[in-house]
Chains A and B, each alone.
Chain A
Amino acid sequence: MANIKTGSKKTKAQAMGMHTEVLTGRTQQKFFNPDEAENFYYFGTYDVDFNKRTDLDVKNMTAPEANKEIDNLMSQGYGTIVIKNPQGKHSLGVGILNKLNLIFEGSLGYFGMGSCDGPIVRINGRVGWSCAENLMAGKVVIEKNAGSCFGAAIRGGDLICKGSVGARTGIDMKGGTIIIGGDAGAFTGFMMQRGRIIILGDVGINLGDSMYDGTIFVGGKIGSYGSDAVDSELTSSDQDWLRRKLKVAEIGENFDVSKMKKIVAGKKLWNYDNLEPTEKKGAI
């Protein structure tokens, strides 16, 4: 989340009357002005030490209580936090905006790790619907399966599920990479606008339906293609990137990426060509 501060020094853009306030925050970097560095800070972030480690048992906590305690531990400088007994609770680990090693010893419910920007997370269990929605940066690894809307609207970072995922994976995603070790459900990549999805297993019907941009790689069978999703040539640089990404993700070792299918947007959607380049950039 960006903080809005009134700067005393006018930028060239401000002088031109384009905007009258300075937006600061990691997600608004295009507005960052080095001259305003003293005003620049990330709301809700802390300097943490990865070597400072603690456990947090959330068995008898509500999700807000657990999240508040994570925040409290970060404020004390803990850089590695192990969450015990999450037991499928919803909305755990949301809104973390700084570097952090976060480990969940168990499964999460819905909306786990939503709206995060920076943490490295390992979930030794399963996650429910909408895991890591709106992820900005960082890495989230799920050791088992994931529910529907996995990685909805992510802007960046790596989201990795070693098992299978439900429907609408990567819906509306605007950046980053989603890697699935198993199968994926229907409408994977629905309305995606940028970023990459890698699925080593099979994928359901309507793959990449109404995608504006971005790339989907599939290792197994495809149920059907969605509107405007088309095949594309898998280049050698694609293969190099896939090998590197899978290696970093510690997934699909020895997987033959040369046989993967590459799906991109046909860019024939009704309003695609109506967008001016600058507006198109703004849209994605």
Chain B
Amino acid sequence: MCGIAGLIHRGKSSNVGSELQGMLQALKHRGEDSTGYALYGDTDGKNFIMRFKVGENVGEGSSSVMEDVSVYDERKKIVDQTLVELGAKIIKEERTLPYSLRYEIDYNVKDLLNFSQTIESIPGVEILSMGKSLEVIKDLGNAKAVCERYSLDKLVGTHAIGHARMATESGVDIKSAHPFWGYPFSDVSVVHNGQLTNYWNNRRALENKGMRFMSECDSELIAVYIAQKMREGATLKEGMKDSLTGLDGVFTYFVATKDSLGMAKDTMAAKPLVLYESDDLVAMGSEEIAIRSVLPQEIDTYDPFDGEVKVWQI
């Protein structure tokens, strides 16, 4: 089933980590195999923030294979060495969990394709996000558990999207959890509720164009699809509109960039979305109770129609 939620503050920052936690926790009945956050924090914009994993959470319910922590240490060492070879300087590093790391990197190359391909050529290493504002945090468990595990409740920023997952098409693991980074674009992330039926056709075509897939989760296709459209020169909104015909199946998805947040709904309108829109805040989720967690007062909400695409700026 899965639940998605997102919000964007316009003209100000807020405690988006805590707000999104509340929204996703309200949707936990839609799935709590894993929960993911894409948070756009207030930064000085100088350095890249790279969130990556060197292994999987092998806790209860996980479909991943158990590995020794020493393997994670070895992979981390190779990543550090590769970053030096790529000319990237690690400014700050945090290791929240043995398999999950956050680096602030001084790196002055715009095209992240070669950078990402080189890092991810290290077996067992996956970049969860790369950007100057974006941080993707995802792990097994419900929103509250993941928020506490990564201390996300104090993160201040302008916008965020998130996902509460009930695993249906692929494994219970971090690599199949949402949000997906819009590889190789800085600060692009995607969450999706639904099912894509032309996944393999699209995947093969995109792989032939040099794009990479890290999981077999159909939702990852949306991130790669939009990223490829943007590589070809489309704007975010144009790429999203194109997806309404290019992607087959039922879906409601959100895409976020450094300064914008968008939603798209398939032409069958088969997946739910409730939307609240005002001059200073847009909040949306699979169910109204997600919005109620940040706006308990009486508000006007509506369901976007079939085939609708909307994009908001901060």
Contact = CB atoms under 8 A, between A and B. Distances in A.
A164 interface: yes
Nearest to B29: A90
Contacts, number: 73
A107 B269 contact: no
Given A88-B291, A107-B288, A166 B303 contact: yes
B33 interface: no
B268 to A, nearest CB: 7
A185 B306 contact: yes
A202 B305 CA distance: 12
A204 B305 CA distance: 8
A181 to B, nearest CB: 13
Interface string B278-314: 0000000001110110001010111101110000000
A205 B287 contact: no
A108 to B, nearest CB: 8
B305 A125 contact: no
B1 to A, nearest CB: 12
Given A129-B272, A185-B269, A109 B288 contact: yes
Nearest to A105: B298
A50 B274 CA distance: 34
Ranked 3 nearest A-B pairs via Cβ: A88-B288, A167-B269, A166-B303
Interface in A150-169: 163-168
15 contacts: A107-B301, A109-B287, A126-B300, A145-B303, A147-B272, A147-B274, A148-B272, A166-B305, A167-B270, A167-B306, A185-B269, A186-B269, A186-B307, A187-B269, A204-B305
Interface residues of A, number: 30
Interface in B242-292: 267-270, 272, 274, 287-289, 291-292
A149 to B, nearest CB: 10
- Main SS class of interface, B: loop
Interface string A85-100: 0011110000000000
A144 B300 contact: yes
A185 B305 contact: yes
A183 B72 CA distance: 55
Interface string A114-138: 0000000000011011000000000
A7 B198 CA distance: 58
A146 to B, nearest CB: 8
Interface residues of B, number: 20
Interface of B: 267-270, 272, 274, 287-289, 291-292, 296, 298, 300-303, 305-307
A87 B274 contact: no
A186 B301 contact: no
B306 A110 contact: no
Nearest to A150: B303
Given A88-B292, A205-B267, A125 B303 contact: no
A106 interface: yes
Contacts of B298: 105-107, 125
B305 A167 contact: yes
A163 B302 contact: yes
B287 A148 contact: no
Nearest to A168: B269
A4 B274 CA distance: 42
A90 B288 CA distance: 9
A128 B269 contact: no
B66 to A, nearest CB: 38
Contact of A204 (B291, B300, B302, B306): B306
Contacts of A110: 287
Nearest to A183: B305
A167 B307 CA distance: 11
A111 to B, nearest CB: 11
B289 A88 contact: yes
Interface string A167-185: 1100000000000000101
Contacts of B300: 126, 144-145
Contacts of A107: 288, 298, 301
Given A126-B302, A183-B305, A166 B269 contact: yes
Given A88-B288, A105-B298, A146-B303, 12 more contacts: A87-B296, A88-B287, A88-B291, A106-B298, A109-B288, A110-B287, A126-B288, A144-B301, A145-B300, A166-B303, A204-B269, A205-B267
